[in-house]
Structure 1
Amino acid sequence: MANPRGSDVCNGSLHNHKEQRDNLKTENCTKNGIVQEIQQNEESQCHYKPLVESFEEAPLHVMVFTYMGYGVGTLFGYFRDFLRSSGIEKCNAAVEREEQKNFVPLYQNFENFYTRNLYMRIRDNWNRPICSAPGAQFDVLERVSDDYNWTFRFTGRVIKDVINMGSYNFLGLASEYDESMRTVKEVLEEYGTGVASTRQEMGTLDKHKELEDLVAKFLNVEAAMVFGMGFATNSMNIPALVGKGCLILSDELNHASLVLGARLSGATIRVFKHNNMQNLEKLLRDAIVYGQPRIRRAWRKILILVEGIYSMEGSIVNLPQIVALKKKYKAYLYMDEAHSIGAVGPTGRGVVEFFGMDPRDVDVLMGTFTKSFGSSGGYIAGRKDLVDYLRVHSHSAVYATSMSPPVAEQIIRSMKFIMGLDGTTQGLQRVQQLAKNTRYFRQRLNKMGFIIYGNEESPVVPLLLYMPAKVAAFARHLLNRKIAVVVVGFPATPLAEARTRFCVSAAHTQEMLDKVLEALDEMGELLQLKYSRKKNSACPELYDETNFELND
């Protein structure tokens, strides 16, 4: 889309500067994710390789039966509510207590109805308790319900060696203890379990400083700041960056922490279709041309919110084009790399490295330590003045308790392991093994005929189930075969797009993956889950972002 009037645009206003050349060009073209071409004039020019992603639509009959399933479930829900109110069905947990009958409802009617009559029927597939480290395999406590999943009781039996396909333990570091990790125990003995203070008061330790310096080095940026909770890293820091009079452009598939942070900021929020650059540019242009509603003043600033890997779709952000747009329109870019840091890129440095881009092109780099690093907490990294500003104005720095010392040490050990600072190449080998396992698992599922979403390089692999009855049957049957999976439905996904989300790990062996794939092949036949109509091809179908264009 051409720039209006042939001029560049600033963050909320127009400036008559000379139009810049293509923002996708860089001087060095040897990094991952780009292809180098030599022009006739001997000049080097870079072109980022296209994203290979798939978002295949389900056949019409599948969608019809899916909506019919929800419709039948809703009708039976109303019928059961009638039976309960009449005293015919005896389920004390589903009936309002006598002393609360005159109370104003605590929950919204639909949410309460959905939980009571639909979610409870399959509730046993969530919140399953485990009793071992969440490695490639773990132990699950068996439980049963005598009142249709309203309450559970343990049987005393432990299901041993269940293959874990649900934990986002991408590099397998959440379950291992070796000689290099002994320092975590030493830090626990020296510092204790907690700090009992905020970062601005008495809660900044030398371990926090060591970790922040290491994160900045790992990401190749000027500075970084760490926080005790990954979710709060987004929700408590976005309000410190934008406020009233600012505009947030948020991808429609952004995580709840980004959505909450945007809402808490008080800024105006406009949502663009996922990875749709035409839609994003249209919103940017409209923001520049029309300014703030009613008053028509220029926006104080424009902030684009995206994720590296989208946790429910397995999709990778189209970073090169977003960076080109943010430079063209002088907007700021905030990227959440919770699922991508440590998981993609030749050395595990995330989406920026995956595309071979400059970290300075992303104004705010955010990530968590809960996935690839086997710990907890999050970070924000970028320019030193940004980090210095957040140390003073961040709600997490002012009000939240600091990161636990042994947690910080675990992250330090894991990050040094990935960077090779432990004197070995095992960390790099883990990153490479994860990429190998991801490609193998995705390719096999595609050949079987399942509909799977996302990028071919993403270790987050959503497999579409659609029908609510199949969601429960899928998870229960696999657990009986000692395979643990995560199933997801409404409201975490669109109503008709229930799915299972696999998280591939470097700790998974070929034997484990083959066992899972064999079980999935059988389940696909049993439950009729092989909905894909694509023909197997050596050339995967490219993601067509124009399918998601908004109507004017």
Structure 2
Amino acid sequence: MPASSPLPSPMALNIAAPNPSMFKKRSSQTLAPLASAASYLSALSQADARARHSHGRTPTATPALSLSSSITSSSEDTVLNEGDPSSHAHGFDNFDGLALPVRPPTSEQVFTTLHTEFGHCANEAYRLTSQHTQGEAVPAHVEQDPPYYILLSTYISYLILICVGHVRDFVGKRLSPGSYTHLVPRNGYAPLNSDFDSFYTRRLKTRMDECFSQPVTGVAGRTIMLLDRISPDYNHTQILTGTRTRALNISSYNYLGFAQARGGCADAVEEVIRRYGVSTCGARLEGGSSDLHTVTEALVANFVGMEDAMISSMGFATNSALIPALVGKGCLVISDELNHASIRFGTRLSGANVRMFKHNDMGSLEALLREVISQGQPKTHRPWKKILVIVEGLYSMEGTLANIPVILELKKKYKFYLFVDEAHSIGALGPHGRGVADYFNIPPRSIDILMGTFTKSFGAAGGYIAGTKSLIDRVRLRGHLGPYAEAMTPPVLTQVLASMASIMGVSPPLPPLDGGEGVVTTSGTYVHPGPAPASSLPNWLTLPYALASGTEGRTRLRRLAFNSRYLHNGLIKLGFITYGHPSSPIVPLLLFNPGKMNMFHRMMKDRKTPIIVVVVAYPATPLVTSRVRFCVSAAHTKEDVDVVLRACDEVGDVLDLKHGIGRGERWTVEKIVERAAEVAGM
């Protein structure tokens, strides 16, 4: 292409196409690695400048990459193809098939993230603040029932599956006993698997296994690379075909988009590997810790607004191994009926008595408190040694928020201890990303114990528990994780430090004015501690200005808030039955019938723009409330959510899923897309 030829704007190409797809076939040519970041930024800058010149406005997103659905090479994540030598003679680099001149950046919007991992979105209209409006009641969890014919067909479907499964077992044991050797006693040994206990797995789940445990490779960011597979024996075995499909990822807990292979956090992780060595990263540190552990625990305590914190290498174990250090025999644990399995397991190990209340029902909680306090311990009726109420900040299957303001009022009245599991809410809720306390503008220290994980918003692994120093000291001695579990590796710790500091921002090397515990103003507004003092981070850890200043962290929080409300309210306006709080990045869409689970998954994945979703069924949910669970990320652009809404609109019509009461009249998907800012603000 001559250097003087006018180049079509990538944004213009997207607008001209009636149904533009981010995911199109790429040529079989192996892409060369990016020569320099400068060429990438220059290409994006020129694209932005031309788009503004052509349309008279700032583009809402940068051009989407050309992504392959059948890639076997290792270069699927390459951003720019340097092209043939002739293109360089004219001073051009090949950007997804478009030749873009390499000149100094002139655009006001300079994106430094890989578009497949974190979407480029420059439109400030697509930003919201995640914050509870003071004085408003917290929405209660309302279960909407579909029409009776949907419930009836769902029960009949399960009845048919169960009956056919038992008939196949009865006939198969007699005609093909070799297929059941693992379920019957043999050679004097009892079977390892119970015939009855494994019935659901063998006869129900196996029929739907296509939509579970999808193998992937690479970074689970805005998009994800699927390993294609087939099953020649009705899902008993899966065979990889050797091809791959790049799909829009609406199924990962990557709330803030920190699951990136490139960027400031990734650079910090590479640096710690160079400093600590590869062998240290895989070493077992039983009952020990490194200097990074002390630094990370201090930053976590500062981030959540508590005196002290203890970190662990596994989020599930944080609950299951540390709750027994908090309560024991003679104590009472009051648990929400939909609490996570790790909480249930931990309370059983503790030996404490357990009572449950209806999910997020404050009336049920108060009635239970009155009963247990008045009756005391069973048989002896002595007072309980302590009462611990455990709730989740954000429930992963329902998308509901715990009613923390009302629970704190009950706490003052009935004098119990409060444990809040913020595995999904920390980093994802609140104007500062500090979880439900931040969202409701509540001082964190009014809550006794805060627990959370690093596997969601921070793109790392492990978990933490935070509280007073005396409490954490006891947990270090009495909890099983301290003396027995492996310590977190330096790369994981560095990812936590870098991502958390990016949310807080990093201040000059001066002590924080508030002593690291936050302040309450005269108007009663709580101000979270921050930014993180530079002295609280390793001196070798340097972040790019956008991360160190906290600018990018605030942008990610506001993008996540918009995407969450936009998808949630958009699905309701389309007529679907959804659960959860509008600010929740978890958006469950009810499917009910088990047959629709497989169909929904396949129809979304087989679209021109493949979309990978997670479907959830029994025992994670009640038997008749099977659902697809969308997980929104700050990495998604408004256009990505548009793609999901359009796909749901079409698939919902085919599978008869639009049975929601909604909010007033239903809207068409095009009306929702056109008035996205209004929909998100509903």
TM-score of the aligned structures, taking structure 2 as reference length: 0.70
Task: After TM superposition, give the deviation of residue 197 of structure 1 in Å.
Answer: 2.0
The residue type paired with residue 174 of structure 2 is S
Q: Aligned pairs, how many? A: 491
1:487 alignment partner in structure 2:
615
Of residues 440, 459, 462, the one that matches 1:374 is 459
**1:350-361 map, 5 Å:** 350-361=435-446
Residues 449-503 of structure 1 show CA distances to partners (whole Å, capped at 9, x for unaligned) of 1100010110001111001111111112211121100001011110111111110
Q: Does 1:517 align with 2:645?
A: yes
CA distance in 2, matches of 1:424, 1:174: 18
Task: Label 1:86 to 1:292 Cα distance change in 2 as closer, same or farther (>3 A).
Answer: same
Of residues 217, 223, 237, the one that matches 1:137 is 223
Question: Contact (CA 8 Å) 2:182, 2:191: kept in 1 or not?
Answer: no
**1:386-405 map, 5 Å:** 386-405=471-490
Unmatched 5+ residue regions in structure 1?
A: 1-30, 36-46, 539-552
Question: Contact (CA 8 Å) 1:85, 1:95: kept in 2 or not?
Answer: no
CA distance in 1, matches of 2:196, 2:573: 40
Of residues 571, 580, 600, the one that matches 1:474 is 600
The residue type paired with residue 383 of structure 1 is T
2:391 alignment partner in structure 1:
306
Q: Does 1:75 align with 2:174?
A: no
Task: After TM superposition, give the deviation of residue 94 of structure 1 in Å.
Answer: 5.6
Q: Does 1:164 align with 2:249?
A: yes
Bigger CA drift: 341-350 or 282-291?
282-291
**1:23-38 map, 5 Å:** 32-35=131-134
CA distance in 1, matches of 2:550, 2:426: 20
1:505 alignment partner in structure 2:
633
Question: Contact (CA 8 Å) 2:425, 2:436: kept in 1 or not?
Answer: yes
Task: Label 1:183 to 1:346 Cα distance change in 2 as closer, same or farther (>3 A).
Answer: same
Task: After TM superposition, give the deviation of residue 101 of structure 1 in Å.
Answer: 7.1
2:403 alignment partner in structure 1:
318
CA distance in 2, matches of 1:442, 1:195: 44
**1:265-276 map, 5 Å:** 265-276=350-361
1:246 alignment partner in structure 2:
331
CA distance in 2, matches of 1:53, 1:271: 16
Aligned structure 1 segments of 4 or more residues deviating by more than 6 angstroms:
none
**1:43-54 map, 5 Å:** 47=135, 49-51=137-139, 54=142
Task: After TM superposition, give the deviation of residue 132 of structure 1 in Å.
Answer: 1.3
Bigger CA drift: 521-530 or 186-195?
186-195
- SS of 2:282's equivalent in the other structure is coil
Q: Does 1:462 align with 2:564?
A: no
Of residues 416, 422, 442, the one that matches 1:337 is 422
Residues 189-245 of structure 1 show CA distances to partners (whole Å, capped at 9, x for unaligned) of 33231341223xxx2111111111111111111111111000000000000100110
CA distance in 2, matches of 1:228, 1:138: 25
Of residues 218, 222, 228, the one that matches 2:307 is 222
- SS of 1:502's equivalent in the other structure is strand
Task: After TM superposition, give the deviation of residue 408 of structure 1 in Å.
Answer: 0.4
1:16 alignment partner in structure 2:
none
CA distance in 1, matches of 2:591, 2:180: 28
The residue type paired with residue 500 of structure 1 is V
CA distance in 2, matches of 1:245, 1:52: 32
Task: After TM superposition, give the deviation of residue 32 of structure 1 in Å.
Answer: 4.5
The residue type paired with residue 225 of structure 2 is D
Question: Contact (CA 8 Å) 2:503, 2:550: kept in 1 or not?
Answer: no
CA distance in 1, matches of 2:183, 2:425: 47
CA distance in 2, matches of 1:351, 1:497: 26
The residue type paired with residue 141 of structure 1 is L
The residue type paired with residue 429 of structure 2 is V
Question: Contact (CA 8 Å) 1:34, 1:356: kept in 2 or not?
Answer: no
- SS of 1:346's equivalent in the other structure is coil
**1:54-65 map, 5 Å:** 54-65=142-153
2:199 alignment partner in structure 1:
113
Task: After TM superposition, give the deviation of residue 259 of structure 1 in Å.
Answer: 0.6
Q: Does 1:147 align with 2:233?
A: yes
Residues 80-124 of structure 1 show CA distances to partners (whole Å, capped at 9, x for unaligned) of 112312326x9x656547883754343444331111111111112
2:660 alignment partner in structure 1:
532
CA distance in 2, matches of 1:238, 1:393: 10
Task: Label 1:176 to 1:347 Cα distance change in 2 as closer, same or farther (>3 A).
Answer: farther
1:453 alignment partner in structure 2:
579
CA distance in 1, matches of 2:230, 2:223: 22
Task: Label 1:492 to 1:101 Cα distance change in 2 as closer, same or farther (>3 A).
Answer: farther
CA distance in 2, matches of 1:84, 1:497: 31
Task: Label 1:180 to 1:486 Cα distance change in 2 as closer, same or farther (>3 A).
Answer: closer
CA distance in 1, matches of 2:626, 2:244: 29
Larger radius of gyration: 2
The residue type paired with residue 293 of structure 2 is H
TM-score of the aligned structures, taking structure 1 as reference length: 0.86
Question: Contact (CA 8 Å) 1:454, 1:461: kept in 2 or not?
Answer: yes
**1:183-202 map, 5 Å:** 183-191=268-276, 192-199=280-287
CA distance in 1, matches of 2:474, 2:492: 25
Question: Contact (CA 8 Å) 2:184, 2:191: kept in 1 or not?
Answer: no
CA distance in 2, matches of 1:152, 1:360: 50
Could you tell me the percent identity over the aligned residues?
47
Residues 248-289 of structure 1 show CA distances to partners (whole Å, capped at 9, x for unaligned) of 000000000001001111100001001111111111111111
1:122 alignment partner in structure 2:
208
2:102 alignment partner in structure 1:
none
CA distance in 2, matches of 1:48, 1:224: 32
1:256 alignment partner in structure 2:
341
Of residues 100, 112, 116, the one that matches 2:186 is 100
- SS of 1:55's equivalent in the other structure is coil
Question: Contact (CA 8 Å) 1:93, 1:150: kept in 2 or not?
Answer: no
Task: After TM superposition, give the deviation of residue 517 of structure 1 in Å.
Answer: 1.2
1:181 alignment partner in structure 2:
266
Residues 528-549 of structure 1 show CA distances to partners (whole Å, capped at 9, x for unaligned) of 11121345279xxxxxxxxxxx
Residues 7-40 of structure 1 show CA distances to partners (whole Å, capped at 9, x for unaligned) of xxxxxxxxxxxxxxxxxxxxxxxx94253xxxxx
CA distance in 2, matches of 1:346, 1:98: 57
CA distance in 1, matches of 2:224, 2:351: 43
Question: Contact (CA 8 Å) 1:195, 1:405: kept in 2 or not?
Answer: no
Task: After TM superposition, give the deviation of residue 372 of structure 1 in Å.
Answer: 0.2
Question: Contact (CA 8 Å) 1:48, 1:320: kept in 2 or not?
Answer: no
Of residues 85, 95, 98, the one that matches 2:173 is 85
CA distance in 2, matches of 1:352, 1:186: 34
Unmatched 5+ residue regions in structure 2?
A: 1-129, 507-547, 667-682
The residue type paired with residue 602 of structure 2 is R
CA distance in 1, matches of 2:503, 2:497: 10
- SS of 1:128's equivalent in the other structure is coil
CA distance in 2, matches of 1:310, 1:334: 14
Task: After TM superposition, give the deviation of residue 344 of structure 1 in Å.
Answer: 0.6
- SS of 2:198's equivalent in the other structure is helix
Task: After TM superposition, give the deviation of residue 389 of structure 1 in Å.
Answer: 1.0
**1:434-453 map, 5 Å:** 434-453=560-579
Question: Contact (CA 8 Å) 1:195, 1:403: kept in 2 or not?
Answer: no
Question: Contact (CA 8 Å) 2:140, 2:361: kept in 1 or not?
Answer: no
